[in-house]
Structure 1
Amino acid sequence: MSLSNTATITWFFACKVEDVPANGGVCVKYRDEQIALFHFSRRGEWYATQNLCPHRRQMALSRGMIGTQGGEPKVACPFHKKSFSLADGRCLSDDTECSLTTYPVKVEEDRVYIGIVNGSGHAAVMA
């Protein structure tokens, strides 16, 4: 996700750190959206993307396997193994036509927040 200098980010509380498995993901609901939240603990990093896999249109990415490809953090869809960059959402498989929306993540005092550009900041509910 690239942000312009005028874009504002609204942070919403997604969950507690302990709610997300190490080196795994969970699905967080924000309004009508499902967001996949990942704790890549081996790298000490957090990522968030849309939960909808653009390839087969399934809400499944939060259950995907995370790892690296050429040093790039990635998630592989659990159904068809298409891989996407957790950093910027681009497809790392042979299909460059599909990509993911990514969201900024921050952790403060064991609470995980996801940023929505120009959003309203309603609390999320674990799905």
Structure 2
Amino acid sequence: MSLNNTATITWFFACKVEDVPANGGVCVKYLDEQIALFHFPRRGEWYATQNLCPHRQQMALSRGMTGTQEGEPKVACPFHKKAFSLLDGRCLSDDTECSLTTYPVKIEDDRVYIGIAGGREPAAVMA
């Protein structure tokens, strides 16, 4: 599920650009949520999703395998290999009806911000 564009977005500082490995991910904590943050430097793109794999309910997606499928950026759970679109969170592996929540990301002055619909703005902590 993606954030609704008409919702009020609260941007919180997640980390510095240099904290995220190229073509990989990190986990950022926001209140009681874990958010997986991914960077595709060759494409100049950033993505954020829930860190919880909906298939087996494990906090693992930030350690998942990133890549593309038919030109679409994706992450695959490191345990179950189910792949999810980083654009809209839908499952790409099969007809499973599980999907991920996705979040907008913006970069300002080498700092990474993640948008939360209507959220409060506490300090982020990398998990």
Range class of TM-score, shorter chain: over 0.9
Q: CA deviation at 1:80?
A: 1.0
Partner of 2:19: 19
Deviating above 2 A after TM superposition, structure 1's stretches of 4 or more consecutive aligned residues are none
Q: CA deviation at 1:99?
A: 0.1
Q: How does 1:1-127 map to 2 (within 5 A)?
A: 1-5=2-6, 7-127=7-127
User: Unaligned regions of 5+ residues in structure 1, if any?
Assistant: none
Please identify, of 90-99 and 55-64, the stretch whose mean Cα deviation from structure 2 is larger: 90-99
**% of aligned pairs identical?**
85
Separation in structure 2 between the aligned mates of residue 113 and residue 30 of structure 1, nearest angstrom: 11
Q: TM-score, normalised by structure 1?
A: 0.96
Where does the alignment leave 5 or more consecutive residues of structure 2 unmatched? none
CA change 1:14–1:4 in 2 (3 A) is closer
Secondary structure of the 1:62 match is helix
Q: How many residues align?
A: 126
Supply the AA of the counterpart residue of 1:124: A
After superposition, give the CA deviation of every residue in 1:44-83 in whole Å (9 maximum; x if it has no partner). Answer: 1000000000001110000001100011100010001100
Contact 2:3 2:103 in 1 (8 A): no
CA RMSD of aligned residues (A): 0.9
Moved more, 97-106 or 87-96: 87-96
After superposition, the Cα gap between the structure-2 partners of 1:118 and 1:80, relative to the gap in structure 1 and judged at 3 Å, is same
The 2-side partners of 1:14 and 1:2 are apart by 17
**How far off is 1:4 after superposition?**
4.6
Normalized against structure 2, the TM-score is what? 0.96
